[in-house]
Amino acid sequence: MNKITLLMHCNDQSGIIAAVSNFIAENNGNIIYIDQHVDREQNIFFMRLESEFETDVLDLEHLKNAFKSTLVKQFSMKWRIYTSEVQPKMALFVSKYDHCLYDILGRYKSGELNVHIPFILSNHLDLKPIADSFNIPFYHVPVTKDTKPEAEAKQLELLKEHKVNFIVLARYMQIISPKLISEYPNKIINIHHSFLPAFVGAKPYHSAYKRGVKIIGATSHYVTEDLDAGPIIEQDVARVSHTQSIDDLIAKGRDLEKIVLANAIKHHLNRKVMVFNNKTLIFY
């Protein structure tokens, strides 16, 4: 059984769902999931659809060309079709914090994530033993102010060599360059803490503790040139109280980071995310 996922958006107009459903039926497909949303303010129609095909070999290129020459042209659609036969490749970028890395690799090893990890890259050597224990190649690419261009060139070389589809920054403590972002638009996933009010600097949990915050959180988003302001994929929060120490806040925050990042990766892998104007639609 071959399965595809279709993501599309266009100006809202009559007949889109009927036309797409008929197209799938005419090509011997069976729709097993469909969801849609209309942004009334901008008059944009969004849809996510999953379909199964009973053919032994699905001619994906023929299907894409047929869809493009008919419905895409008719409705002026922006669209993507993905097949379940292709397993995405995900590179992990890390620094010294290990909690997100351990969590991702544990889920990967157990088969929870339908993805291949060709390598782990870091600007430090601290986490190499973890990569070795999971038998995943580890590349040490140091980054300094003077060597940043060379480091970026090496990163891009590795990403192209291994045909990586997307990147996860599992607490990678370096700013991603515009060049790398342009090569992987909406394909670099980051994770960081979330506070209201915002606490910047090297020790945000210490600042939050001193202010007596009642809620801490984590946010996962796609990376853009605007630092920590890319389209949000997943968020979560936890309540804290005056009885908890700074270490308690840090531990709780790291738990949130692990869960939020894992869910963001799953949303991306399952093609549940659509980005429009720096905002995401998540089809749960």
Closest of 240, 220, 238 to residue 103, by C-alpha: 220
Place of tokens 């580890």: 138
Active-site annotation holds for 228: yes
Counted residue by residue, the chain has a size of 284
What are 4's two structure tokens?
Answer: 């595809």
* Alpha-helix residue ranges (DSSP H) falling in the chain: 16-26, 60-67, 73-75, 99-109, 128-133, 148-161, 178-183, 204-211, 246-269
| Bridge partners of residue 79, in order along the sequence | 8
* Alpha-helix residue ranges (DSSP H) falling in 138-192: 148-161, 178-183
Catalytic: which of 39, 98, 126, 228?
Answer: 228
Q: Annotated active-site positions, please?
A: 228
